[in-house]
Structure 1
């Protein structure tokens, strides 16, 4: 880790810090940054209001605390494949893949998105129109988005394990804005003509918006259709203003983002995932590409292979609770007098109007429909194991 990286000991401010405060954002420490948990109720804010607006229209989330990295070099894909279980060498330009950084024991160091952003170099012509250099792909380049709370450890891990001929660049001069909701495409199309039509879920493109160069990806962390926009930090505020000028768009904070991702069944690193959990127990087998389950070649493969073959002692499940009292992280789960698991994320679902939770329970108790009890404030709450997502995803996958 470089001397620059060590500066994260103090709480940082986001490029949009003053913008959030002017909008009535209630700021709280999160992942080393001051971030808005919600906005003033008099302006349509509040966690439930922001949650519901995202489900029905479109919300702007500032996720600039996330780490944005570039990995560049002739063997960049092969180098990344040595560290993650996802198939990176077969990832086409403009495509995005969800994957995991693992340790030698198969523990999850972080979950992340990797995009192939290798540029196409246009053919060169002389004054007479003759082609003097054929079109070709440039140096292999991959754009990584990692979790804010782990980005410094991720950077250190990557620098330690990537070969010298592969370059890692921390894009600390970039902000990241997420526009999420069923009307996100409508609003974005009005601001930037044609962008939504050019992208489906897990696709990405570079876009010049006036003098700004943006990276726009159709993805998000809410279960809704939406986009993540990487923008130079100095242009984050005018872009946020331009997007929020659209009638469909309002700002939303961490509170709504958390309740939305919980309803979508999406794990949060540091809560539902950590270096003591593995992808198989976490129910993330889809992130272990089928071919690489057999061929291996990535850190933690042997440990994952054992879990895939022999099964896991515990697994991540969804729980639907009776009543209205939510179970929070750390609540113990029982089958009669037998402790069988622990809640890792939980809260009241505004969309479903009842509490839901994610938890790790013993494999014998993980079947859908299994009746369990969760201890909350000295009481036992009835809960049922249920499939996730709790609210169906509405990603735009095209025709």
Structure 2
């Protein structure tokens, strides 16, 4: 059976149609834009390869209401909802200089060109802002026009015309940008939601020989303290499962298929994404904190079997690093609650403002924290894949 792929969690759940409009005037939104950077963990997930059937949808709310599978628009957050977006950005990991240096050092080893970089699935613009500090121009793309509006607002003052925007799916970028025009392509949290075979062919055509492809994924916040990891982490996992299960199990067949493919990619730590040695060289897969959980939702939340695959080639380098300081966050219970509140707007649509069982789990977590205002250290599982275009 062939499952549909999507280039963002928004598109996976809302099933909005791909849009071909280009935004080359002003600044375009970029993934995870932030005004400050702190240490955090990155999780890289890998997707299982395979052809996918492309399904087109209307992006209008009216049309969505007439699509039984997609009758719930899980990402109905206005681009003008500043409180939501500020909280959304602040609760995401803030990629460290050490993390970006893994990408930049790889690129410098194969290319002397620092002209154009693409941020695919740019979200609120964190990665775009970083890339603009090293490359002459950045193209920020996303199929979610709300994300683009947020990114544009966050980036316009600092970057002006140095960042342009393309409103399309990652699989369609070659329709809007010349072949061989790009020096580096970055995709954060996006590969597990795309048809990676189509996307990788797009990326191959976009990149110059010697250009760099970097994609990554991070997972759940994870307690650093071993005792809390053993006793309190299951409470976080339970909250994650309860939230996602209500969203996924209430979805239609097509959307469930998308969730299944995404879950299998996360469960595989992106090892399922095949990089053809005829096209890509010097492939490196770095996994931080692999003892933690990369999946936001797995078999328990989905209610259907999740399988894992590996397409790692013998020539590829795979590294595993346990690092409790990786992208570290110090949160109290209120900040952890805020993380879940804006993790995915669909939770509120399905669960409402309160859920008695989840409230009880948070109370147990509060006791584990030591009470209101007490902070605990969190790290993140993450995976980064870098490769050079031959």
Range class of TM-score, shorter chain: under 0.3
**Structure with the larger strand share:** 1
**Structure with the larger helix share:** 2
Using structure 1 for the length normalisation, give the TM-score: 0.27
Bigger Cα Rg: 1
